């Protein structure tokens, strides 16, 4: 009788070395074969690039890498995913009648949604954390199996988990249904997970809050309780994150906005900003600065209508894409058979093409850079709005560059240089670039997208190789570069964007006459630096914690009297400062000077000038700078000139 040859698989390791094993070998077995230390450190593995459990059997030749705690991104995702399951287990062990639903990893942590009659309290969170640490200390093994749909449904019907039954029923036919056990506790999950519960750091997680959440995000379905948590690889990382949250709370632009009397929101105009004099002063200073920078960079400022007929939005393709986020205005025109449907513009680009198209352009006119501080409106869900950061009415520092394909590279370089310079002036020294490619839902042919992506990536490569690719995250009309800046406490904000559009000029019939006399389509580069003034204002407020640089401060100086005899002189000092273009207030209240100084310092006023009898007699002022110790007594003219020089916007120095 002949022997049947045993099937083998070839495993290729990250260094290119290969090893042969019997079919069905696991990542854990390969790690143990390499070294005992690697087997102990292993958390998961990558099989042909896909993150997998160490227990997953390998049935074919594959590339394999072992994931350990040194692989920070993968390790953190695994820890957070297991934390969600461990939290759900802890909840059901403490309150067995609770029903479980889903618990994914999210930015900075995880959550799990529960169906429980009683609301969770702060004391409950502490009890859950304690039980989670006990589960971690038990080092319970994590196991996984693939079940049939019928078996999974029968199991969850038996255990009384209706939400899990619905989840199983929604899984497409033929897709494996994977079940996980963390010790005795079981959950439906795609995985992967750690080897045992003890691989979650017991001192590096924290439950943060409880919120309401509708099942499947549907407000007509049952409301659940969502527990949010955060987790990190080390206690040090957790403490750093919690410290950042404390700093963020102190810097919250809504709190500072109220404290400094900058703006407010109210129910009668949800998502719309009421700018107060102080806030509008900052806004105008920022707008004036941006206007000067754009003018110097060769942009021509324009202004386009707020309300535009739906026909333009249909022609541009925005109607199908943004219809549900548009504010519509129905107008009964005279002699019209039906109402005319207009929309408040959610973006400026189609209107800019109308200005471009108003006269036939020559290649000599290109590049043509059209800029607008365009007021836009988008219907954002009420639950997503957040102070200045997410609003329904906003102003974009918008511009569109109409150019030839040969000019894309130069325009990209010019834009990145301009953006970097502006960010530096506004207090942000570094930024990251993300190159986003075609999304699934898009307009235009693959041929046009191939051309647009190749042109934009080649252009950014001429400027820098320091960028990342984000597949599928481009605009619906073209690929884009997004620019993320980092604030004073390490948070990232996506503000600037630069987008190559070969489609809209085609849809809206934009042309130019080339040197050969032929009519051709220009490329339309969509670009913004701040993004929206409202959101950028919120970012600046939080970045500087309300202590604006002198040139941006709403009140740049306060003249405070020490005695009432100096009231007249205080007004004269203020008038001299105002004559130099400074935003100045006087404080002649019958209060002690130390009280006045403290109050204005808390309010973030950069310069306080104290005047008493000595200052009146000597025509001097006692100058106190925010953040500095002590004061300097200077002649009025010298002090005014010095403050005015320091208050000069960066581009005018």
pLDDT at 4 over 60: no
- Conformational region of residue 503, where left means phi above 0, alpha means psi within -120 to 50, and beta covers everything else: alpha
Q: How many other CB atoms are there within 10 angstroms of residue 446's CB atom?
A: 9
Active-site residue, 48 included: no
- The answer on 62 and 79 residing in a single domain is no
Number of domains in the chain: 4
* Structural domain harbouring 214: 73-247
- The answer on 330 and 292 residing in a single domain is yes
41 part of a folded domain: yes
459 part of a folded domain: yes
Question: Which CATH number characterizes residue 50's domain?
Answer: 3.10.20.30
User: For residue 120, what is the DSSP state?
Assistant: P
- The answer on 149 and 57 residing in a single domain is no
Q: Which of 45, 83, 349, 495 is catalytic?
A: 349
110 part of a folded domain: yes
Q: Which of 81, 85, 400, 596 is catalytic?
A: 400
Q: Which of 206, 253, 345, 378 is catalytic?
A: 378
The tokens describing 31, both together, are 């790690």
* Per-residue pLDDT tens over the stretch 38-64: 999 999 999 999 999 999 999 999 999
At 7 the pLDDT is 81
At 336 the pLDDT is 67
Active-site residue, 193 included: no
Active-site residue, 400 included: yes
- The answer on 285 and 321 residing in a single domain is yes
256 part of a folded domain: no
Active-site residue, 309 included: no
2 part of a folded domain: no
- Say whether 81 counts as a known binding-site residue: no
Closest CA to 609 of 589, 628, 586, 591: 586
Q: How far apart are CA 34 and CA 331, in angstroms?
A: 75
Active-site residue, 494 included: no
182-191, 281-290, 485-494: lowest mean pLDDT where? 485-494
- The answer on 118 and 209 residing in a single domain is yes
Active-site residue, 526 included: yes
Q: What is the percent of the chain with per-residue pLDDT over 70, rounded to a whole number? A: 99
* Per-residue pLDDT tens over the stretch 625-650: 998 888 999 999 999 999 999 999 99
- The answer on 141 and 59 residing in a single domain is no
- The answer on 416 and 373 residing in a single domain is yes
At 443 the pLDDT is 78
Q: Which of 254, 318, 526, 600 is catalytic?
A: 526
Please name the residue that has the structure tokens 């600065």. 289
552 part of a folded domain: no
Question: Which CATH number characterizes residue 573's domain?
Answer: 3.40.50.800
- The answer on 80 and 64 residing in a single domain is no
Q: Which of 480, 527, 596, 624 is catalytic?
A: 480
- Say whether 400 counts as a known binding-site residue: yes
At 227 the pLDDT is 97
pLDDT at 138 over 70: yes
The residue out of 220, 247, 274 marking a domain boundary is 247
Q: How many other CB atoms are there within 10 angstroms of residue 471's CB atom?
A: 10
The residue out of 247, 282, 316 marking a domain boundary is 247
Q: How far apart are CA 448 and CA 524, in angstroms?
A: 13
* Per-residue pLDDT tens over the stretch 21-40: 999 999 999 999 999 999 99
253 part of a folded domain: no
Q: What is the mean pLDDT of the chain?
A: 93
Residue 232, Cα to own-chain centre: how many angstroms? Answer: 20
Active-site residue, 351 included: no
The residue out of 247, 275, 290 marking a domain boundary is 247
- The answer on 277 and 361 residing in a single domain is yes
CB 500 within 8 A of CB 458: no
- The answer on 491 and 424 residing in a single domain is yes
Is pTM, for the whole model, over 0.85?
Answer: no
Closest CA to 369 of 379, 380, 361: 361
- The answer on 317 and 434 residing in a single domain is yes
Question: Which CATH number characterizes residue 351's domain?
Answer: 3.30.930.10
Buried b (16+ CB within 10 A) or exposed e, 384-410: eeebbbbbbbbbbbbbbbbbbeebbbe
* Per-residue pLDDT tens over the stretch 348-401: 999 999 999 999 999 999 999 999 999 999 999 888 889 999 999 999 999 999
How confident is the model over 153-178, as a mean pLDDT?
92
């Amino acid at each position: 009788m002949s022997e049947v040859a045993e099937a083998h698989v070839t495993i290729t390791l990250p260094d290119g070395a290969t090893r042969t094993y019997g079919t069905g070998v696991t990542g854990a077995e390969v790690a143990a074969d390499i070294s005992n230390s690697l087997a102990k450190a292993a958390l998961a593995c990558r099989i042909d690039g896909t993150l997998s459990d160490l227990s997953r059997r390998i049935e074919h030749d594959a590339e394999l890498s072992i994931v350990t705690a040194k692989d920070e991104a993968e390790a953190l995702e695994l820890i957070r995913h297991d934390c969600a399951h461990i939290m759900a287990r802890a909840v059901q062990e403490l309150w067995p009648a609770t029903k479980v639903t889903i618990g994914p990893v999210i930015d900075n942590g995880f959550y799990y949604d529960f169906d429980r009659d009683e609301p969770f309290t702060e004391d409950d969170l502490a009890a859950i954390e304690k039980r989670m640490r006990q589960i971690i200390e038990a080092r319970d093994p994590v196991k996984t199996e693939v079940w049939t749909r019928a078996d999974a449904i029968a199991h969850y019907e038996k255990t009384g988990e209706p939400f899990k039954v619905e989840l199983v029923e929604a899984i497409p036919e033929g897709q494996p249904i994977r079940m996980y056990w963390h010790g005795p506790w079981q959950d439906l999950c795609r995985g992967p997970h750690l080897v045992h519960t003890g691989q979650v750091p017991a001192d590096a997680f924290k439950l943060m809050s409880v919120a309401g959440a509708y099942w499947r995000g549907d407000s007509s379905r049952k409301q659940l309780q969502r527990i949010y948590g955060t987790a990190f690889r080390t206690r040090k990382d957790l403490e750093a994150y919690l410290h950042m949250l404390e700093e963020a709370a102190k810097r919250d632009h809504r709190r500072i906005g109220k404290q400094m009397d900058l703006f407010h929101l109210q129910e009668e105009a949800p998502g719309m900003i009421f700018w107060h004099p102080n806030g509008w002063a900052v806004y105008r200073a920022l707008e004036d600065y941006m206007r000067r920078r754009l003018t110097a960079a060769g942009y021509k400022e324009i202004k386009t209508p707020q309300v535009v007929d739906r026909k333009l939005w249909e022609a541009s393709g925005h109607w199908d894409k943004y219809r549900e986020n548009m504010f519509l205005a129905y107008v009964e025109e005279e002699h019209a058979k039906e109402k005319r449907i207009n929309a408040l513009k959610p973006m400026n680009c189609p209107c800019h093409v109308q200005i471009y198209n108003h006269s036939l352009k020559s290649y000599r006119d290109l590049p043509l850079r059209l800029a607008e501080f365009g007021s836009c409106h988008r219907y954002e869900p009420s639950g997503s709005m957040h102070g200045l950061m997410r609003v329904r009415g906003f102003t974009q520092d918008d511009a569109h560059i109409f150019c030839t394909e040969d000019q894309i590279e130069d325009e990209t370089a010019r834009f990145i240089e301009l953006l970097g310079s502006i960010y530096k002036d506004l207090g942000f020294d570094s930024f990251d670039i993300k190159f986003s490619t075609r999304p699934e839902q898009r307009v235009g042919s693959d041929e046009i997208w191939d051309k647009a992506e190749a042109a934009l990536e080649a252009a950014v490569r001429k400027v820098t190789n320091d960028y990342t690719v984000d597949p599928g995250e481009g605009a619906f009309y073209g690929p884009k570069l997004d620019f993320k800046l980092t604030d004073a406490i390490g948070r990232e904000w996506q503000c600037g964007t630069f987008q190559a559009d070969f489609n809209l000029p085609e849809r809206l019939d934009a042309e130019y006459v080339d040197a050969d006399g032929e009519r051709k389509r220009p490329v339309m580069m969509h670009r913004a630096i701040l993004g929206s003034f409202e959101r950028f204002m919120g970012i600046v407020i939080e970045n500087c914690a309300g202590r604006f640089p002198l040139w941006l401060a709403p009140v740049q100086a306060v003249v405070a009297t020490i005695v009432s005899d100096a009231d007249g002189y205080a007004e004269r000092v203020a008038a001299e400062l105002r004559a130099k273009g400074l935003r100045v207030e006087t404080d002649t209240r019958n209060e002690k000077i130390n009280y006045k100084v403290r109050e204005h310092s808390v309010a973030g006023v950069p310069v306080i000038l104290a005047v008493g009898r000595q200052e009146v007699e000597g025509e001097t002022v006692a100058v106190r700078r925010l953040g500095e110790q002590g004061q300097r007594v200077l002649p009025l003219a010298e002090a005014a000139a010095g403050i005015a020089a320091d208050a000069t916007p960066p581009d005018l120095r």
